[in-house]
Structure 1
Amino acid sequence: MEKQTVLLPQYMREFSCIGPACEDTCCAGWKITVDQKTYKRYEEVQGLASTLPLLEHLKKIEASPGSRHFAEIQLTTGSVCPFLNQEKLCSIHSQLGESYLSNLCVTYPRVSNVVDGIHQKSATMSCPEVARLALLNPNGIVFEEIQEVVDESRWEAIRIDTNDPKPVRRYFLELRKFTFEVLQNRKYPLSERLLILGMLFEELQDRLSSGEAEEVPSMISSYRNQIEQGLIKERSTSLPTSIADQMELLRKSIDMHLFNGVNHKRYLQCIMESLRGIKFMGDRVDKDSLEAYKNAYRSHYLPFMKEHEYVLENYLVNNMFKKSFPVGTDIFEEYMTFIMHYALIKFHLIGMMGYHKEDFDMNHVIMLIQSYSRTFEHAFKHSRQFLSWLKENGKYNLSSLAILVKN
């Protein structure tokens, strides 16, 4: 096969699975599907004496809409893949070879998309090694183009054509370029960068809803000029701040997800440490929890982030690239989802810093963002549920976005 152009963040060139040395496993705790092509290969080799009892542990998905998710591996009572051996290695891979792995297993944690025919590859931070490589680079996420052989049959992708008549698709490249330009502009604190983008996307969605898509380039140009001239700061500082409201909104989000079921022990540990660290064990903010939150923010979070704010910047840039933001029809809603994730991570960090105090270090950051990504970013139902709650309660607006971001 011929090599093709692939756009990727530089950390992808360093990434390789660390196998048994990994502190987590991608072979337990969630649904593992098998594509139809791989399932048929298992049927073909099942009769051979040297093979594993493959089909015994697979169940066809009757309601499957296509061939990519044709069957599901039946996990053990401990929610572990039955093909994971005692050395924390895959028996299918070791006995049959990589070519017998399903699309999901052979590609994870890699994520692939295509924009105007250019393949784009990144990875999810639900993998601890990816989280370390992507988050801990103080120089930020840098993208480059390489030439690589692409196996299209293994390439599960969001596909974007900027000749698409849909306005967001038409201006995708300009919007993404500006988004990353703002996110990586360290002349402004990260919270202000997020507010600038929030103001743009709210205004932009109003224009798109009114059929004024042709205004997108001039809006981007206007915001770019305001940033360069320092005029945008006044607008962002006028947006509301309420620590108590922020805490209650985020506790609501956490409770929703706990109600739906969280079974990842690493993330459950982070939740409990963060809530204990700010004395927020009830569902309402009281004087003690508010003061504990403010103290943890001032005494631990601010000093830590003065040196390491690039970690959250890298998280956002990687996540938006991975999700091909903006890709949907409602750009403000899409952006609010990213803000929700950012705000929850920040909330947990403040609480965990209050819990661990001087013992808090970068290992806690990696543990949180990795376990959070594994729990939330692969559970789209939660994001939709929380956004629906915001809409139903009149909190789906720029003011609520500001409350989630500002301290």
Structure 2
Amino acid sequence: MEKSLVRPSFVTQFNCIGSECEDSCCYGWNIYIDKQSYKKTLANSELKVLAQKALKKVKKSEDAWAKAVLNQEGACGFLDDKQLCQIHAKAGESLLSHTCKTYPRMSHMKDGDRYESLSLSCPEAARLILLKPNAFHFERMTVSHKNQFEVTPLWAQKAHDYSIQLLLNEKLEISHSLTAIGILMKTVESAKQLVQNSSSIDTMFQQLLTLADNGELKHHVASFNQDTELQKMHAFTSIHLWLNTNKPVRGRARFEVINQAVCRVVDEEGNFSVKQLNNAWEQHALPALEKHQDLFNRYLFYYFYHMNFPQVDKLSPTEAFRLMMVDYFMLRSYLAAIAADKQGLTEHNIIMCFQVYHTSRQHKANFSKYVVDLLDKCGFDELPAILTLMN
């Protein structure tokens, strides 16, 4: 059976920068070793003695047969004094465990096709995805396999393709694109629940394009003027506190830089508010991002591709949209806080915000469910309210 392997250029251009990495994946988190790699490492004459100290057998599964023992600084025991992997240096890449060999490379399957990607929890991956020119040139190769696969529902295919088209529509500002995608997800949800036919998604998409062309979509966005400052305040502080609680060792110091910047976003009376974050965004972040005006368009394009939006964590289409809006809101808030604290944003600051947020996010079990439940409690259950997270 002939299928496709889809690979964006940010994947083909990626190379680990090793000891130059500002937040090495060889520090501060559980690195599990599969059974085969564990046995091969112990059998290697140059690594055997070191492996007996640097690996601990846990037998959780074939894929998690052992884990790396971290030293007092949180470093993997196989790192040398130059912070380079001794397994790779002495035995080559073939002896690395599956985790070490593949991270930050990831992929997902859709209709038998394989879509390769990178995790934003890696600083170098984030740098390529968010800042590298031509990062989103895609190549498609024909491959053969005999694996069975589930067919993507028609509603999901259309929702994914149309969302990307709306995001990339040059006639639309990002706020208008997100508004259109939010409106579309309401129709998609009805089609998923069989309340409407999937052809209604096509009809709504065409209507949204017409609204974009005649300028009515812009007026529609302006009509969403609900005052949700208190709800946004509660949502931000709750999510930030949750991410800041029981953080993984990896990225902890970098997260604290963001946390301290957030704590310093206060008014003259010393009170923190979302209004102050918005002021920081307007006064400090936006001017600093003048050279990176496509930053969030790139991020959201990556997001839709990487997460296979809207089929995200078994959420409904409207829930997946609300989750994405929270990710957008939190990242914008962190950039605003850092920009206010540093009186601007360097590329290092930008990468830190995206990478640290996604590192913390991916290490929180049930993050998606927590966010959706929190949004319900905060009153962000309808589209007009959730769209206020853009400003």
Structure 1 counterpart of 2:158: 174
Residue aligned with 2:245, SS: helix
When residues 324 and 348 of structure 1 are mapped into structure 2, their CA distance, relative to the original with a 3 A threshold, is same
Shift of residue 138 of structure 1?
6.1
When residues 312 and 49 of structure 1 are mapped into structure 2, their CA distance, relative to the original with a 3 A threshold, is closer
Structure 2 counterpart of 1:195: 179
Most deviating of 172-181 and 15-24: 172-181
Maintained 8 Å contact 1:262/1:268: no
Structure 2 counterpart of 1:345: 331
Residue aligned with 2:369, SS: helix
- Tell me the distance in 1 between the aligned counterparts of 2:133 and 2:86: 38
Name stretches of at least 5 consecutive residues in structure 1 with no aligned partner.
153-158
- Tell me the distance in 2 between the aligned counterparts of 1:111 and 1:362: 24
Matched, 1:54 2:42: no
After superposition, residues 34-113 of structure 1 pair within 5 angstroms as 34-42=33-41, 45=43, 48=45, 51-54=48-51, 56=53, 57-62=55-60, 64=61, 67-113=62-108
The amino acid across from 1:6 in the alignment is L
- Tell me the distance in 2 between the aligned counterparts of 1:334 and 1:160: 23
When residues 224 and 274 of structure 1 are mapped into structure 2, their CA distance, relative to the original with a 3 A threshold, is same
Structure 2 counterpart of 1:266: 254
Matched, 1:360 2:345: yes
Structure 2 counterpart of 1:145: 139
Structure 1 counterpart of 2:9: 10
Shift of residue 271 of structure 1?
2.0
Q: Quote the sequence identity (%).
A: 25
When residues 77 and 206 of structure 1 are mapped into structure 2, their CA distance, relative to the original with a 3 A threshold, is farther
Most deviating of 232-241 and 86-95: 232-241
- Tell me the distance in 1 between the aligned counterparts of 2:242 and 2:46: 49
Maintained 8 Å contact 1:296/1:350: yes
Residue aligned with 2:15, SS: coil
When residues 385 and 248 of structure 1 are mapped into structure 2, their CA distance, relative to the original with a 3 A threshold, is same
Structure 2 counterpart of 1:156: none
The amino acid across from 1:136 in the alignment is L
Shift of residue 7 of structure 1?
1.3
Residue aligned with 2:351, SS: helix
The amino acid across from 2:92 in the alignment is G
Structure 1 counterpart of 2:32: 33
Maintained 8 Å contact 1:275/1:281: no
After superposition, residues 138-287 of structure 1 pair within 5 angstroms as 142-147=136-141, 161=150, 163-164=151-152, 169-214=153-198, 215-239=200-224, 240-261=226-247, 263=249, 264-276=252-264, 278-279=265-266, 286=271
Most deviating of 289-298 and 103-112: 289-298
Maintained 8 Å contact 2:127/2:351: yes
Shift of residue 259 of structure 1?
2.9
Residue aligned with 2:381, SS: coil
Provide TM-score, normalisation by structure 1. 0.82
- Tell me the distance in 2 between the aligned counterparts of 1:184 and 1:36: 45
- Tell me the distance in 1 between the aligned counterparts of 2:233 and 2:12: 39
Aligned length: 382
- Tell me the distance in 2 between the aligned counterparts of 1:180 and 1:281: 42
- Tell me the distance in 2 between the aligned counterparts of 1:14 and 1:79: 29
Shift of residue 217 of structure 1?
3.3
Provide TM-score, normalisation by structure 2. 0.85
CA deviations on 1:163-203 (whole Å, 9 max, x unpaired) are 35xxxx33433322222222223433222322221222133
When residues 216 and 294 of structure 1 are mapped into structure 2, their CA distance, relative to the original with a 3 A threshold, is closer
Shift of residue 49 of structure 1?
6.5
- Tell me the distance in 2 between the aligned counterparts of 1:191 and 1:338: 13
Structure 1 counterpart of 2:356: 371
When residues 39 and 386 of structure 1 are mapped into structure 2, their CA distance, relative to the original with a 3 A threshold, is same
CA deviations on 1:299-334 (whole Å, 9 max, x unpaired) are 223333454231122122112212222223512222
- Tell me the distance in 2 between the aligned counterparts of 1:397 and 1:59: 49
Maintained 8 Å contact 1:138/1:310: no
Q: RMSD of aligned C-alpha atoms?
A: 3.2
Structure 2 counterpart of 1:295: 279
Most deviating of 4-13 and 265-274: 4-13
Name stretches of at least 5 consecutive residues in structure 2 with no aligned partner.
none
